[in-house]
Chains A and B, each alone.
Chain A
Amino acid sequence: MIKLVKKDLKLFFSDRQGIMLTFALPIIFITLFAFIFGKTNNSEEGKLVSLVHSVAGTSVMMLLFSVAGIGGSLLDEKQDGMLKKLLCSPIPPNHILFGKLVFANIISIIQLSIMFVYAWLVFGLDIMHHLPSLVLMIFTIAFACSGFGVVLASFAKTRQQVQGFSTIIVMIMSAIGGSMVPIFVMPEIMQKMAVFSVNYWGIQGIYDIFWKLLPLTDITFLSRVFVLIGIGTLLNFIALLMFKKNILKIV
């Protein structure tokens, strides 16, 4: 399985365009949002909130796009015959999926870390005083999103379909989860619906750390962590079922 992950990492880092999309684009978004929201808020707290929101909202949304791409690569491998060859080899078929999930986690963790480090260096987001909570949050968000791409891929036939699907679904989840317009300015009914999106829980967790300034042991913060782990577990479980049912079907 390690070999599968290594191969995916090699592939990833040999693709400049992919790297740009995964790491540079989110930074551009953060910058953009931070400027837009920052302009409209003049108080100290307002500035902080808009920064935290820009980072939190963008990060989860961009993460979903990355993992959708990773799920799509599974279909590429199927279309091009790599999956067949993998299945002819003595590795257990499920390892193909686990390898992708591990890879998705690694990329997600790198992506999130880069975004927070950027927000720290450029906008002075105080990550240093919240490092343990932040690391925990990064890991759980990464885990929560990792299965999403594979689940998407298992409902699609081709890479192109995944791309179409994922854009729509990620946009919807991001909109209702508060990645774009902050949840706290939405009408109440929208706020209720938000709990159905990954974005909501990740964003709230990040609010907790940098805005609400909750400590790592706070029950509200930990509840977000548990919900995210729950979402991740569920998605990974669905991913496993769907992978066996759809993706491994060669004929």
Chain B
Amino acid sequence: MINVSNLRKTFDTIEALKGISFNIPQGECYGLLGPNGAGKTTTISIMSTLIEPNEGKVSIAGYDLKKNPLECKKNIGVVTQEIALYNELPAYDNLLFWGGLYNVPKLELKARIDEIVNLLGLTDRKNDKVKTYSGGMKRRVNIASALLHRPKVLFMDEPTVGIDPQSRNLIFEVVEKLHKEGMTIVYTSHYMEEAERLCDRIGIIDNGEIIAQGTLDELRTSGSMKETVVISFTNLTDERYTAIVNDWNDLQRFDDAIHFYSMNIQGDLSKIILKCNEVGLDIIHIDIRKINLETIFLSLTGKQLRDK
């Protein structure tokens, strides 16, 4: 459905994209995950015809973006990172306008607006001016405005930035519903939980390059990363530690705690605890650190995904 190959884009001296490629089959939700300035918005902007790449090709729904931008545009819905709505108009009028740009017949459009407004929990407020809305409500309207022409492909650029949990959940539900209905979605975020929850496949982007991509499981195993269980004891002595090391060599001691590393914590946890009991260790705390996108990202780049 979406083919992107070798996109490069340079702004003045900044190399924003250094050869981005990915293919997204129909119906997939693809997550582009990366820190600030990684090149997510630039990628989305190129795919939605807003900026031209210096190099590279994009095709959407079988159309080449450069040769046939109009057909591409008809098939794309874009949820921009900024909330682009007319504040002085009611949400309903905003939606009429944005949907109208895609030549949806008026009656059909009105029916779709009612449906989506309901889905996003805005029915009561739809005739109020957008300027009276909360940030989360505006975001919801912003998303609705990209869906009215029922695009085959949806680009969402950080659609949940700066909003309340309730709005966030509503947005997730909508994305999940659209995904179920077979829409192809590109979702950018720097929240790993969102990508983990919503996306079939994830591309990790940093400094204008995709440094890893695959399903969450693929990403977990590809890095040959290990999960960690950290166990703290009240009575850890050198002898007891040596006794443990004899049986389990992939570990490290930090004062009163031992870090056990394993590819499969779930399976190994009981063995580890059993061993600790055998040597008479008294456990006061167990902390399991699973592999998630955050740790994957950390191991790939040596950076945190987000500033804490």
Q: Point out the residue from B76, B82, B93, B145 that lies within 8 Å of A10, measured CB to CB.
A: B93
CB atoms of B49 and A89 under 8 A apart: no
Among A27-35, A77-85, A196-204, the stretch in contact with B: A77-85
Query: Does B303 have its Cβ within 8 Å of any Cβ on chain A?
Result: no
In the bound assembly, the distance between CA atoms of A28 and B62 in angstroms comes to 60
Give chain A's interface residue range (CB within 8 Å of chain B).
Answer: 20 to 34
Interface residues of A in 81-103 (CB under 8 A from B): 81-82, 84-91
CB atoms of A11 and B89 under 8 A apart: yes
Query: How many positions in chain B have a CB within 8 Å of any CB in the partner chain?
Result: 28
CB atoms of A89 and B50 under 8 A apart: no
Known: A3-B100, A10-B89. A89 touches B73 (CB 8 A): yes
Query: What 3 pairs across the A-B complex have the smallest Cβ distances?
Result: A81-B84, A81-B82, A89-B101
CB atoms of A250 and B50 under 8 A apart: yes
Tell me how many residue pairs across A and B have CB atoms closer than 8 Å.
61
Known: A3-B100, A81-B80, A87-B50. A11 touches B45 (CB 8 A): no
In the bound assembly, the distance between CA atoms of A250 and B41 in angstroms comes to 13
Q: List 29 A-B contacts (CB under 8 A).
A: A3-B97, A3-B100, A3-B101, A7-B97, A10-B89, A11-B86, A11-B88, A14-B88, A14-B129, A80-B82, A80-B84, A81-B80, A82-B85, A82-B86, A84-B50, A84-B84, A85-B78, A85-B84, A86-B101, A87-B50, A88-B48, A90-B73, A90-B74, A90-B101, A90-B102, A90-B103, A250-B50, A250-B51, A251-B11
Interface residues of B (CB under 8 A from A): 11, 45, 48-51, 70, 73-74, 76, 78, 80, 82-86, 88-89, 93, 97-98, 100-103, 129, 145
CB atoms of A85 and B98 under 8 A apart: yes
Q: Point out the residue from A14, A87, A90 that lies within 8 Å of B89, measured CB to CB.
A: A14
In the bound assembly, the distance between CA atoms of A3 and B103 in angstroms comes to 10
Chain A residue with the shortest CB-CB distance to B77: A88
Chain B residue with the shortest CB-CB distance to A14: B88
Interface residue SS majority, chain B:
loop
In the assembled complex, which residues on chain B have CB atoms less than 8 Å from the CB atom of A14?
88-89, 129
Give a binary string over A58-91; 1 marks a CB under 8 Å from any B CB, 0 the rest. 0000000000000000000000111011111111
Query: Does A15 have its Cβ within 8 Å of any Cβ on chain B?
Result: yes
A23 to chain B, nearest CB (A): 17
Chain B residue with the shortest CB-CB distance to A7: B97
Interface residues of A in 12-42 (CB under 8 A from B): 14-15
In the bound assembly, the distance between CA atoms of A87 and B101 in angstroms comes to 11
In the bound assembly, the distance between CA atoms of A14 and B132 in angstroms comes to 14
CB atoms of A7 and B78 under 8 A apart: no
In the assembled complex, which residues on chain A have CB atoms less than 8 Å from the CB atom of B100?
3
